[in-house]
A and B are shown apart, each in its own frame.
Chain A
Amino acid sequence: MITSVNGAFARRFFSSVAAISLVAVSTVSVPAPAFATEELNALVWCDHTDPALVEPFEKANDVKVNLKDYEGTGAALSILEQSQPGDWDVLVIDGVDVQRAVGLDLLAEIPADTLPTADIFPEVRMEANNTKDGKTYAVTEKFGYNTISYDKTKVDPADMKDLSIIWSDKYKGRIALYDYYLPMIGLVALGLGKKTAELSDADMPAITEKLSEMKKVSKQVSDVVSSQTALATGEVDILVGGGEWITAALSGEKPNLDWTVPDQGAVRWAQSIGVMKASKKQDLALKFVQYIVSPEGQARLATSSCYWAMPANMKAGEHLTDAQKAALRWNDQAEYLKKTQLYPIPSAELDQKMQDAWTDMMQQ
């Protein structure tokens, strides 16, 4: 009697379990929406993951774009190393690291006439980085500055004109440091009167010393979002390494946030986009690149949810509102471009030393 009741219960239980697992398995095995016939895999910085940017391309080309975001070229190369050839179709990478990717034979040549080169701000075309032996491998899509962001109601804006403020103890405990060693070491180098392009082993002791002074007066070392949060919530008043990409998106809600390029200059970042050499969908990948550097794509990329920054294509201006342009400081770019220098491009050995110096600093 008891067993038969239990038996009935067990049968019901197991059949429902079986049903659930069948449903579950069938859901897993068809994850892609039925409408997309093709897929494109792109390895990108987080600003490209905004659906407002990607969806128009997906709809127009009946394709599903799979995006994976990373922070820092090392991370991107790490992901690529773990992948099989052909896994990735599009790569977004720091402009200064394009040559590294070309050296690893990762990028395909892009026919020059397929790109709107003439529309791109001349200062950020970066031929030395994006081309090799007269062949184009990538195109600049977005740029901005790693400099000093601050709350103008809490600090004296005049103090922000001098880079040495980042290691002075005037604002001790109210400074956040952006956690990416390359631009930060670049900034320190500028503060020491060195050029970012000429850094060598010999400069490291002086830089290490300043890093340690910087750490002493800082409150935290943080990634994009914690930095933004810290500044927006008043956890800190200054963010070293920040810039328009931190403050522009918040400009409506937090008008007291500001940024500047100090007299010694600041570090300029630029992202490039290219097609992976091993991609089996060269045409579609190129189409995506073309979309991203088109005026519409550029306007969406400039104001995408993860961070805002200047589009490389001048014509994007036609698709941006005046408020958006003001937040991006469209009209001040000429002056900023003149005063800023690109990221350092260290050799593998120097790169290792820089990373170690940065980790050592965090552990102090």
Chain B
Amino acid sequence: MRDVLTKVASFAYAGLIYGFIFLPVAVLVLFSFQDGRLPVPPFNGFSLQWYEAVFADRKLMAALANSFVVAIVSSLIACLLGFLAAYALARYKLPGSALQRGLLIAPMTVSYLIIALGLLTVLNTFGIKLSLWTVGIGHVVINLPLCFAIIYSSMGDHHINIERAARDLGANDFKVMALVTAPMLMPSILAAFFLSVTFSWDEFIIAFLLSRFDVTLPVEIWSLLRSGLNPKTNAIGSLVFLVSVAVLAVLELTLFGKTKKS
């Protein structure tokens, strides 16, 4: 009897929290189909006009492409640098390695706003123009600690023997890394990569402060918001959400689903 009660209470609680978690998303998606200019109740009827408006918006589409490029490139760099550093620190005894680890992780404990402001100060001092490149530099700064931490923590000592074997067979370091270590760590490298793509894709304040004419999606949405309440914002938000979920589902079913079983 008590068991049934706790079970009911558990599921009721879970239901409530799930409701809370999904409430804004549900409202967002619902009112992206609003027939009218105001994305608030009452719901006037179903219309796809705001989706058409999104696809017709040149600036929004450019921002979408910019976000994609910045996310992919900055995550690749972050993963590569993070992997190399993790390899060196896990496999070699270097002086001050604790300090080096601390230094690499440090940006994680600092607010994005501060990272952006610091970079802005330096860029201004040296007269470097703001662009998508500067945004990308900022995104590598925030994602490098993440990639390093994830990859480093998965570099178990049990891999050492395989690497040693490869080396004994005449492989040099780069070969060992590229052909032995990286494939063995592929699940965590991919996890680091996709996590950092997600962060870069969604990051606002660095992209806002370090960009000029070409902006990323969150910054474009921000200025869209400033030009008026509009179901178009709902439509682009819903689109991004649905596409991300689709990508996530595909990844889950192919890459991560398999690695979990092995």
Chains A and B in contact, CB within 8 Å: yes
| A residues whose Cβ falls under 8 Å from a Cβ of B | 3, 6-7, 9-10, 13-14, 17, 20-21, 24-25, 27-28, 31, 41, 46, 49, 51, 66-69, 71, 82, 84, 87, 223-225, 228-229, 232-233, 249-250, 253, 305-306
**Docked-complex contact B183 and A10, CB < 8 angstroms:** yes
The yes or no answer to B127 lying at the interface (CB within 8 A) is yes
B36, A253: Cβ atoms closer than 8 Å: yes
**Given known contacts A225-B228, A228-B229, A305-B227, A21 and B76 CB-to-CB distance under 8 angstroms:** yes
Interface string of B106-150 (1 = CB under 8 A from A): 000000000000001000100101001100000000000000000
Q: Which residues of B contact A305 (CB under 8 A)?
A: 227-228
- On chain A, the residues within 8 Å of B179 by CB distance are 3, 6-7, 10
Please determine whether B132 and A28 come into contact, CB atoms closer than 8 angstroms: yes
- Check if B226 sits within 8 Å of A46, measured CB to CB: yes
Closest to A87 in B: B129
**Number of residue pairs across A and B with beta carbons under 8 Å?**
84
Residues of B within 8 Å of A68, CB to CB, are 212-213
Task: Judge whether B228 and A249 touch: CB under 8 Å.
Answer: yes
Q: Is B84 an interface residue (CB 8 A)?
A: no
Instruction: Decide yes or no whether B104 CB sits under 8 A from chain A.
Output: no
Instruction: Assess the A51–B59 pair: CB atoms within 8 A.
Output: yes
Is A306 a contact partner of B180 (Cβ separation < 8 A)?
A: no
A225 and B225 contact, CB distance less than 8 A: yes
Q: B residues within 8 A CB of A46?
A: 223, 226-227
Report whether over half of chain B's contact residues are helix, strand or loop; otherwise say mixed.
helix
**Interface 9-mer from B13-21, B22-30, B65-73, B239-247:** B65-73
Instruction: Check B183 against A9 for contact (C-beta < 8 Å).
Output: yes
Does B59 lie within 8 Å of A223, measured CB to CB? no
State in angstroms the CA–CA spacing of A306 and B37 once bound together: 14
Which of A233, A253, A306 is the one whose CB lies under 8 Å from B227?
A: A306
CB pair A10–B182 under 8 Å, yes or no, is yes
Asked if B228 and A306 make an inter-chain contact with CB atoms under 8 angstroms apart, the answer reads yes
A27 near B65: Cβ-Cβ < 8 Å: yes
Q: Name the contact of B213 in the complex, choosing from A51, A67, A224, A253 (C-beta under 8 A).
A: A67
Tell me if B202 counts as interface (CB < 8 A to partner A).
no
A36 CB, nearest partner CB in chain B, Å: 13
Q: Which residue of B lies closest to A17 (CB)?
A: B76
- Can you list 6 A-B pairs, Cβ within 8 angstroms, ordered by A? A3-B179, A6-B180, A9-B186, A13-B182, A71-B226, A250-B37
Contact B213 A41 (CB under 8 A): yes
* Cβ-based interface call for B178 (8 A): yes
With both chains docked as a complex, state the minimum distance between the C-beta of A299 and any C-beta of chain B, in angstroms. 19
- CB distance B132 to A31 under 8 Å? yes
Chain B residues positioned under 8 Å from A71 (CB to CB):
226
Beta-carbon contact of B36 and A3 below 8 Å? no
Chain A residues closer than 8 Å to B166, beta-carbon distance:
3
- With A3-B180, A46-B223 given, name 16 new contacts (CB 8 A): A9-B183, A21-B73, A24-B72, A25-B73, A27-B69, A28-B73, A31-B66, A46-B226, A46-B227, A49-B223, A51-B59, A69-B223, A233-B38, A253-B37, A253-B38, A306-B227
Verify B132–A10 contact, CB threshold 8 A.
no
Interface centre among B73, B226, B227 (most CB of A within 10 A): B227
4 closest cross-chain pairs (CB), A and B: A6-B183, A66-B213, A229-B229, A306-B227
Other-chain contact of A28, B76, B120, B133, B178 (Cβ < 8 Å): B133
Contact B226 A51 (CB under 8 A): no
Q: Do A20 and B72 touch across chains, with their CB atoms under 8 A apart?
A: yes
CB distance from A57 to the nearest CB of B (A): 15
Q: Which residues of A contact B76 (CB under 8 A)?
A: 17, 20-21
Query: Per a CB cutoff under 8 Å, which of B129, B132, B213, B228 touches A228?
Result: B228
Contacts of B184 in A (CB 8 A): 6
Point out the residues of chain B lying under 8 angstroms from A250, CB to CB.
37
Question: How far, in whole Å, are A67 and B212 apart by their CA atoms in the complex?
Answer: 9
B167 CB to nearest chain A CB (Å): 12
Chain A residue at smallest Cβ distance from B56? A51
B58 at the interface (CB under 8 A from A): yes
- Which residues on the B side are within 8 Å of A31 (C-beta)? 66, 132, 214
Q: Does B54 contact A (CB under 8 A)?
A: no
Q: In the bound complex, how far is the Cα of B129 from the Cα of A6, in angstroms? A: 43
Interface centre among A49, A223, A228, A229 (most CB of B within 10 A): A229
| Contact call A225/B229, Cβ cutoff below 8 A | yes
